[in-house]
Amino acid sequence: MPDFPDFLIPTKLRDSAVLVPVFRDAANELHVVMVRRAAFGVHGGQLAFPGGKPEPQDANLQATALREAFEEVHLPSTDVQILAALPPVPVLTGFRISPFLGRIRRPAAWQWQTAEVEEVLEIPLRYLADAANHTEETWELPGWPGPRRIPFYRLAGGHPLWGASYNIIRPLIPRLLSGEFDV
């Protein structure tokens, strides 16, 4: 099976940004918030962080991430404290995703834009840190040049957390659990 670590990532990438929302629950456990995309389009049904492409009114990519988080999951920017700009992640679909880690004030109940989001997930970081929830399989998806080993986290309900979202959260897990960020 061929190995293509950056397989077919375009050389010209368009900017996008996501918010990586984290919070502590009443028991002081760290959680990350993700969305499951509505079942249409290239990323339909996939787990992702709230985000998207910049619009002319966005001052910068951090503003894009905050605007998109409000549009997708009704998280006001006043309830977000940006803790860090994380390294950009290039993806096959031609985007360079700029993630921003943000400590959030969790709303009493999540609301979301149903045209784009199927559900909002609060994932305990300790669950992702548990090696029993991390796996790898050989997948072959439409548009890929062949089979590829894909590492991912299997979440409740069988949802795989993989791809760009995986590449964003995986290196963050030990950093968050070690207390590197004031969450």
* Total count of domains within the chain: 1
CB 99 within 8 A of CB 86: yes
CB 68 within 8 A of CB 37: no
CATH value at residue 101: 3.90.79.10
Evaluate whether residue 22 is within a structural domain: yes
Range of the structural domain that residue 173 is part of: 14-177
Instruction: Say which residue the tokens 């339909």 belong to.
Output: 44
Facing residues of 37 across strands?
A: 117
Instruction: Say which residue the tokens 């096959």 belong to.
Output: 92
Which pTM was predicted?
A: 0.89
Evaluate whether residue 92 is within a structural domain: yes
Evaluate whether residue 183 is within a structural domain: no
Evaluate whether residue 164 is within a structural domain: yes
Evaluate whether residue 6 is within a structural domain: no
Evaluate whether residue 9 is within a structural domain: no
Evaluate whether residue 182 is within a structural domain: no
Q: What are the φ and ψ backbone dihedral angles of 135, each rounded to 5 degrees?
A: -150, 180
Per this entry, what is the length of the chain? Answer: 183
The conformation of residue 92, written as its DSSP 8-state character, comes to T
- CA distance linking residue 54 with residue 63, whole number of Å: 8
- CA distance linking residue 98 with residue 86, whole number of Å: 7
Evaluate whether residue 2 is within a structural domain: no
Q: Which pair of structure tokens corresponds to residue 17?
A: 């940004």
Show pLDDT as tens, one digit a residue, over the chain (183 residues): 233 344 455 568 899 999 999 999 999 999 999 999 886 554 556 899 999 999 999 999 999 999 999 999 999 999 999 999 999 998 877 889 999 999 999 999 999 999 989 999 999 999 999 999 999 988 776 666 778 888 899 997 888 998 899 999 999 999 999 999 999
